[in-house]
Structure 1
Amino acid sequence: MENIPIPALVTFAIYLIGMIMIGVYVYRRTHTLGDFVLGGRSLNSTTAALSAHASDSSGWLLLGLPGWAYAAGMDAIWMIVGLAIGIYMSWLLVASRLRVYTAKADDALTLSAFFEYRFEDRSRMLRLFSAVIILVFYTLYVSSGLVAGGLLFGKVFGMDATTAMAVSVGVIVIYTFIGGFLAVSYTDVVQGMLMVVALVIVPLVAVAAIGGFTPLFSGIAAKEPALLAIGRQASFNAETGIWEAGGAFGLIAIISSMAWGLGYFGQPHILARFMGIRSAAHIRSARRIGMTWVITSMLGALLVGLAGIVYFDAPLGDPETVFLELIDALINPWIGGFLLAAVLAAIMSTADSQLLVASSALTEDFYRAFMKRDASDDSLVWIGRFTVVAVAIVAFVLALQGGGVLDLVAYAWAGFGAAFGPLVLLSLYWRGVTRNGALAGMIVGAGVVVLWRQLGTPMGLYEMVPAFVLSGVAIVVVSVITSASLPSKQATDLVGSAHE
């Protein structure tokens, strides 16, 4: 791929122009900050479901997860199981209640605004701390998308990493700047369909090229039997190109892998889809659509990695390129161009959502909350647009520092999951949470994630686990201690009620 491939160039251009046209189309429907941030709460079931999971499934789904399966084999199944459970439970336990509650909470447009209403926080500290957490971890999250975009453009067009990431951030910012939430949601539908089609076609073509599933599994066993043993660890040495068996895939490793599912309760860009759906009555069908998409996509990603182990005689230098390499080796260049666009779709569908939530935090939770409460809708929309650009620039600078796609995602995912997940659940189901308990849980969750990572993840335990647990404990303990300052009945009258 040293020369610029014309089929990929043409198909990428068609795809990118289509995304920008969607942004232009919905520009005329974006008049208020509510339109820009939540699309006027107008998403139907299909759009909400595909947008929620396309925005969730960044470069980790088409690059990180196949790369993990390529390097570690069937060990990756634990993460898939944990994610599937987490996704289902977030739709079941959170989606409907959050949609109804945020609409009542002075039409809260952000998670921070919901917390402020729910806990009657006149000090505005909940809004401030949650907005800071959103900005910090989303900047890291967007950086992971830019690294993935750099990997894609570098592989396909032979660009150097800096230029490739600059192109990535440019195309993402354009349509997010123009169309806001509706542009992001509608493009997510197209991107989600591209992604699932690619994750069905590529692994099936690869398995067919190998000769079927029997040669696939026998070929994997020939490389290293531990790759097929769910209860044993396997690892890939990129320098030697050899897979090596490790010890037992113990309880800590299983818990760490499955703990990814806990993150769904606290991801603001996914929760925003719950808040933006047309009504709680649409939740049930959206859940079914979303789960079908998620399970199909993740199993396809697993199969991509496993097929790559057998298909390539020479081991890959970077496991996270296995999806790109299979397309290059097996697919007609014109079809392959659209399948490669699915990788770009995965990257863009997440980065645009994250940029929008970070922009919302700056606009709604900093500027309007602390600087100019009477700002006009028109000025707020434009401030929102320009903060998209500002966050993207900071993320670009961080992306230049390097790091693996999955590693960056894991850090940000844990940050949100632990800081907001326990608080979202308890705020919807327990009237006993106080403002101080909420603040303590948020700070403890985010703080433990950072501390655990700085300590080198002791025992190999994913930072999500101790941070999520300790955040929940902090909320309960501090709320009990400060129970004299419970929120009023007006703020808590929807707690625990069923809305679906």
Structure 2
Amino acid sequence: MALNIPGLVAVIVFYVIILATGIWAAWKTKKEERKGNRTEVAIVGGRNMNFIVILFTTAATWVGGGYINGTAEIVYLPSKGLAWVQAPLGFLSAFIIGGIFFVKPIRSKKYVTMMDPLQETYGNAMGSILFIPSLLGDIFWFAAILASLGATVSVILGVAGYISIIISACTVVVYTLLGGLYSVAYTDVIQLLFMMVSLWICVPFALLNPATENIFYTAFNGSYQAAWIGNIETEYIGRWLDDFVYLSLNSITWQIYFQRILAASSTWQARITSCMAGVLTAILAIPSVLIGAAAASTDWNQTSYSSPSPAERGESSMILPIVLQYLCPTYVSVAGLGAIAAAVMSSADSSLLSASSIFAHNIYKKMLRKKACETEVLCIMRISMVVFGSVAAGLAFLSHSVYDLWFLSGELVYALLFPQLCCVLFIPNTNTYGSAASFLFGLILRLLGGESTLKLPPVIRYPGCRLVDGIYVQLFPFKTFTMLVSLTTIIFVSYLTRFLFGKKIIPIRWDVCNIMKESKPHNLQSSSEEQIDLRPSSINISHLDGHT
């Protein structure tokens, strides 16, 4: 494929703008660091970031390359369709649930990261173990979206994918390293604006192409493949609900979410921002839906792409860049590429900052070097950015394998980390024994459900488990079932061990986690800004009814 010189120049200009914005934000960070805690400025923006900036950076983080590419792909797939596009509504639910239930308790003690309450309750050792699935999720996510960008660039610009992966990773690492959350947030604003404008420019060209039939007709009467509106067969309802609840609850349990919540100047602002970001995230899926519908309504024989169709060639995952390349003019497809690049970078920098923040603050500062000064912690944070960024860039060349590993790590966060976070925030007297038992049991139960990525056949075949194309598919909502079992385990084991030690049924000298020395319930002393009472009598267990 010939090199697209105008497109390449446009993309280079875009990268220069983003890098310049990140460097400007780094200068602003230096000014803020003179006013207070340097680590807090780098990680949570000094807790006084602008409302609009937080709103845009929160939405931009979730609207990544996988989000806009994946939405178009699902709408286009003959076996899926719009009925299976769950991410927009799932993220909307997640942000509303997070804003209502999680914002106040996580802000009450001015935590710096999501891991702080976990370490405070279960100890540093257990906290470091709980960090592992979160770290893997951030790295695999970074790698997956870099891989998505590399594939897109190769289609539209004719440039080798590995070049865009390396350049994008280096750009993200540089401005994130220099400015922390300020650089990430302000570049996210530019990226989100560019993304919104660019994608909407592409939509009318894709819909009005002569090869594309009216999408309102093909929504229910597919001309070239199945109707793109899709449907949910009765036997797949359990799987659909499992995926939706997973998205609605698991999306909360990430440092990238709490990093923005903690950066707000007040609890009220954090709650409003969370809910509005959910709405904005859902709206930003509309262009991708329309592009996917256009692809499903196109006679590809009338385009230079020719036959067979992308679905028949196994290129459904690339449907968005294919539409931009073959249904839009060159200058429009370049704008669409810019939108994808913006989406990728807005998510990549957030995952990089998330992983390095937790490592520097929770692992290095709290465990390895408790007397480390602010300068040392920031230095470690920046070194970890380079290391994690390099690892993610290397993994990006694995392409589909990285996507599989990202999905698996996300499911582990859902099954292992979400129940633990719920307990430390809403349920008193859970302890390290319950946490360890829940982590171990949840991990085993999830792996026994099977995982094609690791070539693990399901040992536990839940109701509806079937063999599809040589791979076992669980139709039972086993991800949510595993999460609920993990949640039940931590509560049961925590109260059981406290009872056994309290009644001297087990000798106190065997209490290696010293839970009996902490006889009073978790009392998260509130800051002067807001007070929260977590005594047993005041806990509302109904808060646990929701999850991502």
Quickly name the TM-score band, shorter chain normalised: 0.7 to 0.9
Aligned to 1:243: none
Match of 2:279 among 289, 292, 295: 292
**Is 1:250 the counterpart of 2:236 in the alignment?**
yes
Cα displacement (A) at 1:391: 0.8
**Distance in structure 2 (CA, Å) of the matches to 1:142 and 1:447:** 26
Contact 1:150 1:168 in 2 (8 A): no
TM-score, L = length of structure 1: 0.86
**Distance in structure 2 (CA, Å) of the matches to 1:476 and 1:217:** 47
**Distance in structure 1 (CA, Å) of the matches to 2:444 and 2:265:** 35
Match of 1:354 among 338, 351, 355: 351
**Distance in structure 2 (CA, Å) of the matches to 1:46 and 1:444:** 42
**Distance in structure 1 (CA, Å) of the matches to 2:56 and 2:372:** 33
Match of 1:435 among 412, 432, 440: 432
Aligned to 2:216: 214
**Is 1:16 the counterpart of 2:15 in the alignment?**
yes
Aligned to 1:96: 104
Cα displacement (A) at 1:199: 4.3
Instruction: Write the mapping of 1:262-411 to structure 2, written as runs, cut at 5 A.
Output: 262-313=249-300, 314=307, 315-316=309-310, 317=313, 318-403=315-400, 407-411=404-408
**Distance in structure 2 (CA, Å) of the matches to 1:337 and 1:146:** 18
Cα displacement (A) at 1:190: 1.9
CA deviations 1:286-324 (Å, max 9, x no partner) are: 134313311212233223212211125141131122211
**Distance in structure 2 (CA, Å) of the matches to 1:399 and 1:449:** 25
**Distance in structure 2 (CA, Å) of the matches to 1:466 and 1:302:** 30
Which moved further from structure 2: 168-177 or 384-393? 168-177
**Is 1:87 the counterpart of 2:95 in the alignment?**
yes
Match of 2:73 among 44, 67, 73: 67
Cα displacement (A) at 1:443: 4.5
CA distance 1:415–1:194, change in 2 (3 Å): farther
CA distance 1:214–1:141, change in 2 (3 Å): closer
Cα displacement (A) at 1:384: 0.9
CA distance 1:331–1:352, change in 2 (3 Å): same
Cα displacement (A) at 1:282: 0.5
CA distance 1:193–1:441, change in 2 (3 Å): farther
Match of 2:496 among 467, 481, 494: 481
Contact 2:63 2:284 in 1 (8 A): no
**Distance in structure 2 (CA, Å) of the matches to 1:420 and 1:399:** 25
Contact 1:138 1:354 in 2 (8 A): yes
Structure with more contact order per residue of length (Cα contacts < 8 Å, sep ≥ 6)? 1
Contact 1:54 1:191 in 2 (8 A): yes
Cα displacement (A) at 1:404: 6.1
CA distance 1:391–1:451, change in 2 (3 Å): farther
**Distance in structure 1 (CA, Å) of the matches to 2:362 and 2:145:** 24
Cα displacement (A) at 1:195: 2.8
TM-score, L = length of structure 2: 0.79
Describe the SS at the equivalent of 2:398: coil
Cα displacement (A) at 1:14: 2.2
Higher normalized helix content (fraction of residues): 1
Cα displacement (A) at 1:249: 5.3
Instruction: Write the mapping of 1:4-43 to structure 2, written as runs, cut at 5 A.
Output: 4-28=3-27, 29-30=29-30, 31=33, 32-43=38-49
Contact 2:95 2:275 in 1 (8 A): no
Match of 2:523 among 485, 490, 495: 490
Cα displacement (A) at 1:172: 1.8
Which moved further from structure 2: 31-40 or 455-464? 455-464
Contact 2:357 2:381 in 1 (8 A): yes
Aligned to 2:133: 133
Aligned to 1:468: 483
CA deviations 1:15-56 (Å, max 9, x no partner) are: 211221122112232442212211112223322222122112
Superposition CA RMSD, Å: 2.7
Contact 2:434 2:489 in 1 (8 A): yes
Cα displacement (A) at 1:471: 2.1
Q: Which has the larger radius of gyration?
A: 2
CA distance 1:112–1:159, change in 2 (3 Å): same
**Distance in structure 2 (CA, Å) of the matches to 1:447 and 1:266:** 20
Cα displacement (A) at 1:183: 0.7
Cα displacement (A) at 1:80: 4.0
**Distance in structure 2 (CA, Å) of the matches to 1:320 and 1:303:** 16
**Distance in structure 2 (CA, Å) of the matches to 1:6 and 1:426:** 55
**Distance in structure 1 (CA, Å) of the matches to 2:17 and 2:440:** 41
CA distance 1:90–1:285, change in 2 (3 Å): closer
Aligned to 1:54: 60
Cα displacement (A) at 1:389: 0.8
Structure 2 unmatched ranges of 5 or more: 301-306, 466-472, 500-514, 526-531, 541-548
Paired AA for residue 107 in structure 2: R
Describe the SS at the equivalent of 1:358: helix
Cα displacement (A) at 1:69: 1.8
Structure 1 unmatched ranges of 5 or more: 233-247
**Distance in structure 2 (CA, Å) of the matches to 1:126 and 1:416:** 15
Contact 2:144 2:399 in 1 (8 A): no
Paired AA for residue 469 in structure 1: L
Describe the SS at the equivalent of 1:250: helix
